[in-house]
């Protein structure tokens, strides 16, 4: 029997590659790109992972900060965080003032500003960026009123109308209290006192103008002073605002 014939034609040594490599490579590139986008845009940077602690100052020099399109010159002893006392453009600024006359921090009142009991006289004010400019009355009618048991409400204390949120509302455990100070509507969300809320707060939030909003909170024990607090906060923030003349 003659020996088997060896094929010496061109191309006998070419190896075939699997057709899966190209799609797998594209898929891997897409996954890596997606992970990069998630890390870059959504994960906090190392600085954001460190929560800044309140660091009050007794200094009274004014610090110029810009929030939205508004500029403020705020005495350093009103600013809660040391980083805000560097000034410049900021997304939000935290301010603390003491009732009844909205004083800033002082060494003599260190205990008042560091305490957080149910009768604490400290009002916490936040000025923040907010491009939406949703009026207080609109938030009341569009967001809150649709989640209460009775849209008519009932007579509450201190000339306020009280609304009870439904059990399926995200605001359950809070009371909605609405009043008028002259022509201005004042809408307050107040935590309901209980075993897990021994020191309840009341919160108000409204647009300040020019891309900025204002919120403030105080202890529910001072609810009877809601008008004085509303006026005092407005006067204080207005005294900080820098108005440029054309």
Q: Which two tokens stand for residue 78?
A: 């009103």
- Spatial distance between the Cα atoms of 160 and 179, rounded to a whole number of angstroms: 5
pLDDT reported for residue 22: 61
Residue 232: count of CB within 10 angstroms of its CB: 18
Residue 51 — pLDDT band, cuts 50, 70, 90? Answer: confident
Closest CA to 91 of 68, 111, 72: 68
pLDDT reported for residue 181: 94
DSSP string, 209-228: ETTEEEEEEEEGGGGGGHHH
pLDDT reported for residue 9: 42
Residue 42 — pLDDT band, cuts 50, 70, 90? Answer: very low
Residue 76 — pLDDT band, cuts 50, 70, 90? Answer: very high
Signed CA dihedral, 82, 133, 223, 166: sign only: negative
pLDDT reported for residue 90: 97
pLDDT at 21 exceeding the cut of 70: no
pLDDT reported for residue 16: 52
pLDDT in tens, 167-204: 999 999 999 999 999 999 999 999 999 999 999 999 99
Mean pLDDT, all residues of the chain: 86
Higher pLDDT, 36 or 221: 221
pLDDT at 215 exceeding the cut of 70: yes
pLDDT reported for residue 4: 47
**Domain residue extents for the chain:** 62-240
* Overall average pLDDT of the 66-72 stretch: 96
pLDDT reported for residue 34: 52
Whether residue 212 contacts residue 206, with contact meaning beta carbons closer than 8 Å, is answered with: no
């Amino acid at each position: 029997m003659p020996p088997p014939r060896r094929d010496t034609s061109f191309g006998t040594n070419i190896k075939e590659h699997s057709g899966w490599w190209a799609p797998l490579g594209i898929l891997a590139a897409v996954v890596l790109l997606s992970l990069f986008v998630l890390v870059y845009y959504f994960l906090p940077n190392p600085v954001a992972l460190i929560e800044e602690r309140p660091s009050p100052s007794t200094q009274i020099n004014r610090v110029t900060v810009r929030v939205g399109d508004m500029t403020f010159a705020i005495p350093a002893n009103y600013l809660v965080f040391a980083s805000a006392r560097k000034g410049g453009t900021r997304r939000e600024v935290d301010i603390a003032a003491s009732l009844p006359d909205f004083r800033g921090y002082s060494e003599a009142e260190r205990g008042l500003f560091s305490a957080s009991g149910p009768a604490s006289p400290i009002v916490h004010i936040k000025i923040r960026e907010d491009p939406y400019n949703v009026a207080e009355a609109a938030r009341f009618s569009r967001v809150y009123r649709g989640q209460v048991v009775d849209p008519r409400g009932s007579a509450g204390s201190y000339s306020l109308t009280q609304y009870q949120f439904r059990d399926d509302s995200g605001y359950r455990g809070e009371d909605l209290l609405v009043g008028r100070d002259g022509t201005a509507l004042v809408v307050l969300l107040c935590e309901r006192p209980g075993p897990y809320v021994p020191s309840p707060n009341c919160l108000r939030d409204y647009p300040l103008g020019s891309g900025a909003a204002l919120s403030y909170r105080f202890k529910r024990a001072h609810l009877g002073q809601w008008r004085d607090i509303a006026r005092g906060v407005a006067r204080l923030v207005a005294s900080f605002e820098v108005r440029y003349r054309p």
